[in-house]
Amino acid sequence: MKSSGSEKKKEYDKMVQNTSPKPKLLINCVKAFVVGGAICVLGQIIINVLKYWDFNKDDAAMITSMFLIFLGSLFTGLDLYDSLGEFAGAGSIIPITGFANSIVASAIEFKKEGYVLGVGAKMFTIAGPVIVYGTISSVVVGIIYFFFGG
C-alpha cells in the first residue's frame, strides 16, 4: 500500500522532526542575552561619557550609534565579528553593531566584483530591507500622527 503524496510528505516531516536536532535554545538564549546586554552596556557607557562632556541627549544618542557602527565595522574587517556571531547569535545580530556587520561583510565580500557593481550595489543586500521597511513605517507613523495625533 502506497500512501498518497501529501500524506507521505507529512509522514516524512514527522520523521525529520524526530531526527534533526533543534538548536540548543537555552544556551543560545543565555549567550544572546549576555552578549546583547553587554553591547548595550557599552552603548550606555559611551552615552554617559558624552553627556559628561556636555552633549545633549539627542546628540549623545546619535554619536553613540555612529561609534557603535564604527566598532561593528572595524571588528567585521578584522575577521572577528563572524566568530562573535557564531557564538552569540541574535546577541550580536540585533544590536546596531550587527547592522554594521551585515553592511561591511557584504561590502568586503563583493569587492572582487568591483567598487561600483560589487561594493556599491551589494553593500545593502542584507541590511537594505531594514532601511526600506524602517523608512516606510516611519512615513506611515508620520501620516497617522499628522491626522490623528498631536
Partner 1 sequence: MEYFKAFITGGIICTIAQVLMDRTKLLPARIVVLYVVLGTLLTGLGLYQYVESFGGAGATVPIIGFGFALGEGVMKEVDKEGLIGAFTGGLKATSAGITAAILFGYLAAIIFDSKPKK
Partner 2 sequence: MGTQVGTQTIKFDNMPKIVSHAAIVGPKEGEGPLASYFDQILEDVLWGEDSWEKAESKILKEAVLMSIKKASLNLSDIRYIFSGDLLSQLIGTSFALRPLGVPFFGVYGACSTMGESLILAAMTVEAGFADYCLATTSSHFCGAEKQFRFPLEYGSQRPPTSTWTVTGSGAVIVSKIGTGPKITYAIPGKIVDLGAMDPMDMGAVMAPAAADTIVSFFKDTGKQPSDLDLIATGDLGKYGSKLLIELVKKEGYDLTSNYIDCGMEIFDSESQNTLAGGSGCGCSAVTLAGYILEKMEDKEINKLLFVPTGAMLSTVSSNEGESIPGIAHGVVLEN
- Residue 114 binds which entry of partner 1, partner 2, none, with Cβ cut-offs from 5 to 8 Å by kind? none
Q: Which of 39, 47, 60, 84 is in the footprint of partner 2 by CB under 8 A?
A: 84
2 binds partner 2 (CB under 8 A): no
Q: What residues between 87 and 116 interact with partner 2 by CB under 8 A?
A: 87-89, 92-93, 98, 101-102, 104-106, 108-110, 112
Spatial contact of 71 and 97, defined as CB atoms under 8 Å apart: yes
Question: 112 vs 148, which CB is nearer to partner 2?
Answer: 112
79 binds partner 2 (CB under 8 A): yes
Minimum Å gap between C-beta 106 and partner 1 is 8
Cell of 145: 500622527
| Residue 90 burial (10 A CB sphere; 0-12, 13-18, 19+) | middle
Q: CA 37, CA 42: separation in Å to the nearest integer?
A: 9
64 binds partner 2 (CB under 8 A): no
| Residue 91 burial (10 A CB sphere; 0-12, 13-18, 19+) | buried
Q: How many residues are there in the chain?
A: 150
Minimum Å gap between C-beta 122 and partner 1 is 10
Question: 60 vs 103, which CB is nearer to partner 2?
Answer: 103
Minimum Å gap between C-beta 40 and partner 2 is 17
Question: 116 vs 148, which CB is nearer to partner 2?
Answer: 116
Q: CA 11, CA 13: separation in Å to the nearest integer?
A: 5
Which amino acid is located at 24 in the chain? K
